[in-house]
Amino acid sequence: MSRYIASRAIRGAHLLVNEAEELLRRTMAQYGPDAPVAFPNTAYYLPVINGMLGIQVERIGQLEAVLQHARKLLHPMPSDTRWMPYLGETLDSGMATLFAAEAIEALRFVRGEEPQRLPGFHMAGGSFTSPDAGLGGNGAGPGKGGNGYLNGPIDDVQLRSWGIQLVDGRMPGFAAIVGCAKSNEVAVKIVRELQRRNILIFLSGNVNGRSIIHQLMEEGVEMGYDTYIVPFGLDTLSAIYALGFATRSALTFGGLKPGQAREILLYNRARVFAFVLALGEIDDLKFAAAAGAINFGFPVIADTVIPQILPTGVTQHEHVVSMPFNTIPGKDDLERAERLVQRCIETRGVKIKITEVPVPVPYGSAFEGEVVRKKDMRVEFGGKHSRAFEYLRMVPSEQVEDGRVEVIGPDFSQVEEGGAMDLGILVEVAGRKMQKDFEPVLERQIHYFINGASGVQHIGQRDIAWIRISKGAADKGFKLEHLGKILHARFHGEFGAIVDKVQVKIITDPALHAQWLEVARAAYSERNERMGSLTDESVDEFYTCTLCQSFAPTHVCIVSPQRLGLCGAYNWLDCKASYEINPTGPNQPVRKGDTIDPIKGYWTGLNAVAQRNSQGTVREVAMYSIMENPMTACGCFECIVMLIPEANGVMVVSREDPSMTPAGMTFSTLAGMAGGGLQTPGVMGVGKYYLTSPKFISADGGFKRVVWMSSVLKKTMAEELKAVAQREGDPDLIEKIADETICTDVEGLMAWLEEKGHPALTMDPIF
Ligand code: SF4
Ligand code: ZN
């Protein structure tokens, strides 16, 4: 154990606790002890304090107790030479530092000093925290931002939307980078290497006023939720948000309760892949903050000379690793940066799969959210001025030459800069385990696969696909054939168990384009018919999904043709394909068994599987009722459906809607009631497309029970909801449903329903 680190961490902790006490005193004098304090858009209060101490801080006066606790954790400053600090003192100092840092950040929100401003800064994708964003929009749309605010804390909506990826391993975890890299070039290389591995990147801190955030901004690297790069703030203190994120992960996904400090730390140590990368000189405060991270089992890797803490104990591997940048072997700084990132990953000890895709631009899921703006665009396919479609079909094996990519027709070199052209992507696959039903499952992946290329943007699907290639990507040599190369590599990588051979035709020739568009459209409508005829009655087997049991151990989704998984990511066909790919995986077929009640949706086989998977906490599950034995939820639901007794109906709140609801709670607060694998009659987490199913709470009266619904759902699902209204025999039904722009309380809701004559008011009592 290095006494050097301990003594510097202890000194840093003293400094910061003093500072927090001083700021609290001043802020109390100015605003009074009852002034409200909160991080925006989270139901977890000040998360580290809440998780570790079980104190739900809502008023600044409560921070006194928190800081008293922090002070108790401080150890005397080492003064005499015989004094030998041990790891426990470093860890205590780290904890004290975290409490003090979180308190200071919270007080800064009260004082209007958080989130921090950085003139000229632009956020890719949304942040809820910037004051300019307001609460009305979800702020997650591409291209939003530019208001100069750094992110500050991550909101619950974003945490949960990353949830599935964190759980199924697509996103291994996060890197908290603090400080400033040796050069801008090195800064960019480091984040690109992390993005390539789908590792979330949190940025904070500076060295002599200069931060990696400045460096990336100068190099035009897009930062924001969409690119997995979250700039917290320019000072070391803002690194606290990384540990707030880690704490909330344990509370959200680990089913742990505030105050279970030990369990939360162990959860992170065992399950959360994260590390701290300290760039540049390390001061006392950074040592203290690093000590805080070690409490969570996250190792600290520094690119400067510091004493190492190598024995494994609290972290699974080394606690502190020193890797002075200039001593890293490599032919240049870029290679050194790459080795540094590799070392970070080895230290935390996780195998990370990178799909090597032969394209001349960086490639990885982190680029999926990248936006190509019109002014940066070389060429587009689809959208307003042209038509792009994509169609995947299975063909007999002898008709596929694996790896063949053909561009049929002219490439885009003839098109003027910023212009458009027609495009068709025809993917032909063959495989012994391939089934016609898997065509749409695979075809939907085209969106994610193409989007993974940096500088290429993909929106939509089928014949409303829309692809943009940036000037940057085109300059690096990105050509149409690369679309095919990506698809070939990724389909083999992810679906190798069902496809043996993949060939791709990129069609720009006008006559062929028109011809294939017709073929594709015939296939789409055939699939639509197939989906329409695929009812719960027409199959004998549903599927279970237990992917979320790693954090919600008693939850199982039962996925039927007419009810998709509550995260929205897995429908019945997806589960069927996933079972083919991995027969011992999380999706298992379950025979319905004998029908007990076809209206409420009880079957003997489903009850048995619900009992088994919930370790007995659930006895029965009704597929079609919210009032009686509703399906349980983990934490990933797209929407929450909740009974509004006064209205004789239900409301539907979207994860993307931060506003108040007539139930008197926001989505974040409701999420705590809906999740955790428990059955709560009257509350249910669902996938948003379940709303359009004829089986949506059909035992309780169906879609006509919906009296209030987040406007984002009305907007994004306008077509589908219109069809539902028709089906229900009430074409104006959607207009009769209130939303947050109309009312956020029961009185307002009742007035609206009366005025519009909503059918729920005259239906049978819901309970
Ligand atoms: Fe989790 Fe259910 Fe989605 Fe499976 S279907 S990933 S269990 S939420
Ligand atoms: Zn889940």
**HEC string for 465-502:** EEEEEEHHHHHCCCCHHHHHHHHHHHHHHHHCCCCCEE
- 376 pLDDT more than 90: yes
Task: Examine residue 327 and state whether it is found in any structural domain, yes or no.
Answer: yes
Q: Of 262, 258, 281, give the one whose Cα is nearest residue 206.
A: 281
Ligand 1 site-directed mutation target among 555, 557, 564, 684, most atoms within 8 Å of CB: 557
Task: Examine residue 32 and state whether it is found in any structural domain, yes or no.
Answer: yes
DSSP 3-state helix, strand, coil percentages of the chain (rounded to 5)?
45, 15, 40
**In angstroms, rounded to a whole number, what is the distance separating the alpha carbons of residues 284 and 273?**
25
**In angstroms, rounded to a whole number, what is the distance separating the alpha carbons of residues 654 and 640?**
7
State the amino acid at position 544 in one-letter form: T
Share of the chain above pLDDT 70, in %: 94
Query: Using DSSP, how many helices (H) and how many strands (E) does the chain show?
Result: 24, 23
Question: How far, in Å, is the centroid of ligand 2 from the Cα of 548?
Answer: 5
Ligand 1 site-directed mutation target among 545, 558, 690, most atoms within 8 Å of CB: 545
Within 8 A by CB and 6+ apart from 327, the residues are none
Residues 610 and 741 in one domain: yes
Ion ligand 2 residues within 5 Å by Cβ? 548, 634, 636
Residues 431 and 503 in one domain: yes
What residue has token string 């042209």? 386
Question: How far, in Å, is the centroid of ligand 2 from the Cα of 636?
Answer: 4
**In angstroms, rounded to a whole number, what is the distance separating the alpha carbons of residues 126 and 141?**
6
Determine whether the shortest distance from the Cβ of 558 to ligand 1 is under 6 A.
no
**With b meaning 16 or more CB within 10 Å and e meaning fewer, what string describes 45-64?**
bbbbbbbbbebebeebebbe
Determine whether the shortest distance from the Cβ of 634 to ligand 1 is under 6 A.
yes
> Bridge partners of 123?
223
Residues 206 and 269 in one domain: yes
**In angstroms, rounded to a whole number, what is the distance separating the alpha carbons of residues 246 and 173?**
10
Task: Examine residue 208 and state whether it is found in any structural domain, yes or no.
Answer: yes
**In angstroms, rounded to a whole number, what is the distance separating the alpha carbons of residues 141 and 127?**
10
Tokens read off for 740: 């947050």
Query: Which residue minimizes the CA distance to atom 8 of ligand 1?
Result: 567
Tens digit of pLDDT for each residue in 287-312? 999 999 999 999 999 999 888 877 65
Identify whether the C-beta of residue 203 lies closer than 8 Å to the C-beta of residue 214.
no
pTM exceeds 0.75: no
Beta strands in 524-594 (DSSP E): 541-545, 557-559, 587-591
**In angstroms, rounded to a whole number, what is the distance separating the alpha carbons of residues 556 and 615?**
11
Looking at the CA of 567, which ligand is closest?
1
Residue 387 belongs to domain with CATH number? 3.30.1650.10
State the amino acid at position 568 in one-letter form: G
Query: Which residue minimizes the CA distance to atom 4 of ligand 1?
Result: 545
Question: How far, in Å, is the centroid of ligand 2 from the Cα of 596?
Answer: 28
Residues 503 and 580 in one domain: no
Task: Examine residue 353 and state whether it is found in any structural domain, yes or no.
Answer: no
Q: Which atom of ligand 1 is nearest to the CA of 569?
A: 3
Question: How far, in Å, is the centroid of ligand 1 from the Cα of 688?
Answer: 13
Task: Examine residue 753 and state whether it is found in any structural domain, yes or no.
Answer: yes
Looking at the CA of 547, which ligand is closest?
1
pLDDT of residue 81: 45
Determine whether the shortest distance from the Cβ of 570 to ligand 1 is under 6 A.
yes
pLDDT band at 530 (very low <50, low <70, confident <90, very high): confident
Q: Which atom of ligand 1 is nearest to the CA of 556?
A: 7
Determine whether the shortest distance from the Cβ of 569 to ligand 1 is under 6 A.
yes
Task: Examine residue 726 and state whether it is found in any structural domain, yes or no.
Answer: yes
| Residue 186 CA: distances (Å) to CA of 181, 217, 302, 338, 599 | 6, 13, 14, 9, 62
Identify whether the C-beta of residue 454 lies closer than 8 Å to the C-beta of residue 221.
no
Q: Which atom of ligand 1 is nearest to the CA of 587?
A: 4
Q: Of 170, 172, 171, 194, give the one whose Cα is nearest residue 181.
A: 194
Identify whether the C-beta of residue 303 lies closer than 8 Å to the C-beta of residue 327.
no
Residues 401 and 494 in one domain: yes
Residues 433 and 546 in one domain: no
Q: Of 497, 386, 364, give the one whose Cα is nearest residue 441.
A: 497
- 329 pLDDT more than 60: yes
Q: Which atom of ligand 1 is nearest to the CA of 566?
A: 8
Identify whether the C-beta of residue 460 lies closer than 8 Å to the C-beta of residue 400.
no
Residues 745 and 597 in one domain: yes
Residues 558 and 705 in one domain: yes
Query: Which residue minimizes the CA distance to atom 1 of ligand 1?
Result: 548
Domain boundary among 456, 491, 522: 522
pLDDT of residue 554: 80
Question: How far, in Å, is the centroid of ligand 2 from the Cα of 474?
Answer: 39
Determine whether the shortest distance from the Cβ of 636 to ligand 1 is under 6 A.
yes
Identify whether the C-beta of residue 478 lies closer than 8 Å to the C-beta of residue 360.
yes
Question: Which phi and psi angles does 219 have, rounded to 5°?
Answer: -90, 5
Question: Which phi and psi angles does 62 have, rounded to 5°?
Answer: -65, -20
What residue has token string 């990384």? 242
- 413 pLDDT more than 90: yes
Packing angle, helices 240-253 and 284-295, rounded to 10? 10
Residues 270 and 398 in one domain: no
Question: How far, in Å, is the centroid of ligand 2 from the Cα of 442?
Answer: 22
Question: How far, in Å, is the centroid of ligand 1 from the Cα of 267?
Answer: 20
Element (H or E) spanning 442, and its range? helix 439-443
Walk across the sheet containing 388-394 and list its strands: 388-394, 423-430, 501-507, 405-408
Residues 728 and 641 in one domain: yes
Q: 80 by DSSP, 3-state: which?
A: coil
Question: How far, in Å, is the centroid of ligand 1 from the Cα of 289?
Answer: 35
State the amino acid at position 629 in one-letter form: N
Residues 446 and 497 in one domain: yes
pLDDT of residue 315: 56
Question: How far, in Å, is the centroid of ligand 2 from the Cα of 633?
Answer: 7
DSSP 170: S
Residue 304 belongs to domain with CATH number? 3.40.50.2030
Residues 695 and 561 in one domain: yes
Domain that holds residue 508: 377-522
Question: How far, in Å, is the centroid of ligand 1 from the Cα of 163?
Answer: 11
**In angstroms, rounded to a whole number, what is the distance separating the alpha carbons of residues 727 and 291?**
60
Tens digit of pLDDT for each residue in 134-193? 333 333 333 334 578 899 999 888 887 787 777 667 788 999 999 999 999 999 999 999
Task: Examine residue 46 and state whether it is found in any structural domain, yes or no.
Answer: yes
Identify whether the C-beta of residue 295 lies closer than 8 Å to the C-beta of residue 314.
yes
Packing angle, helices 333-348 and 184-196, rounded to 10? 40
Mean pLDDT of the chain: 90
pLDDT of residue 622: 96
Q: Of 95, 17, 106, 93, give the one whose Cα is nearest residue 53.
A: 95
- 538 pLDDT more than 60: yes
CA dihedral 327, 331, 335, 340 (to 10 degrees): -10
3-class SS string, 232-266? EECCHHHHHHHHHHHHHHHHHHCCCCCCCHHHHHH
Give 23 or 493, the one with higher predicted confidence.
23
Question: How far, in Å, is the centroid of ligand 1 from the Cα of 546?
Answer: 6
Q: 411 by DSSP, 3-state: which?
A: coil
Averaged pLDDT for residues 466-488: 97
State the amino acid at position 275 in one-letter form: F
pLDDT of residue 125: 58
Tokens read off for 28: 């109390």
Domain boundary among 76, 110, 144: 110
**In angstroms, rounded to a whole number, what is the distance separating the alpha carbons of residues 479 and 506?**
11
Determine whether the shortest distance from the Cβ of 547 to ligand 1 is under 6 A.
yes
| Residue 570 CA: distances (Å) to CA of 102, 255, 528 | 37, 22, 17
In terms of Cβ atoms closer than 10 Å to its own Cβ (0-12, 13-18, 19+), residue 80 is: exposed
Within 8 A by CB and 6+ apart from 734, the residues are 714, 718, 721, 722, 725
DSSP 208: T
How does strand 595-597 pair with strand 602-603? antiparallel
Query: Which residue minimizes the CA distance to atom 3 of ligand 1?
Result: 567
pLDDT of residue 120: 85
Averaged pLDDT for residues 660-681: 87
In terms of Cβ atoms closer than 10 Å to its own Cβ (0-12, 13-18, 19+), residue 511 is: exposed
Number of domains the chain is built from: 4
Query: Which residue minimizes the CA distance to atom 5 of ligand 1?
Result: 565
Share of the chain above pLDDT 90, in %: 69
Walk across the sheet containing 557-559 and list its strands: 557-559, 541-545, 587-591
Averaged pLDDT for residues 701-708: 98
Residue 45 belongs to domain with CATH number? 1.10.8.190
Averaged pLDDT for residues 278-282: 95
**In angstroms, rounded to a whole number, what is the distance separating the alpha carbons of residues 443 and 523?**
12
**In angstroms, rounded to a whole number, what is the distance separating the alpha carbons of residues 487 and 475?**
21
Task: Examine residue 737 and state whether it is found in any structural domain, yes or no.
Answer: yes
- 407 pLDDT more than 70: yes
Tens digit of pLDDT for each residue in 204-239? 999 999 999 999 999 999 899 988 999 999 999 999
Determine whether the shortest distance from the Cβ of 674 to ligand 1 is under 6 A.
no
pLDDT of residue 126: 47
* Rg (the chain; Cα; Å): 27
Question: How far, in Å, is the centroid of ligand 1 from the Cα of 547?
Answer: 6
Residue 543 belongs to domain with CATH number? 3.40.1470.10
Tokens read off for 343: 């070392």
Q: 367 by DSSP, 3-state: which?
A: helix
- 703 pLDDT more than 90: yes
Q: 81 by DSSP, 3-state: which?
A: coil
Determine whether the shortest distance from the Cβ of 548 to ligand 1 is under 6 A.
yes
pLDDT of residue 426: 98
Looking at the CA of 568, which ligand is closest?
1
**In angstroms, rounded to a whole number, what is the distance separating the alpha carbons of residues 692 and 564?**
11
Element (H or E) spanning 276, and its range? strand 273-279
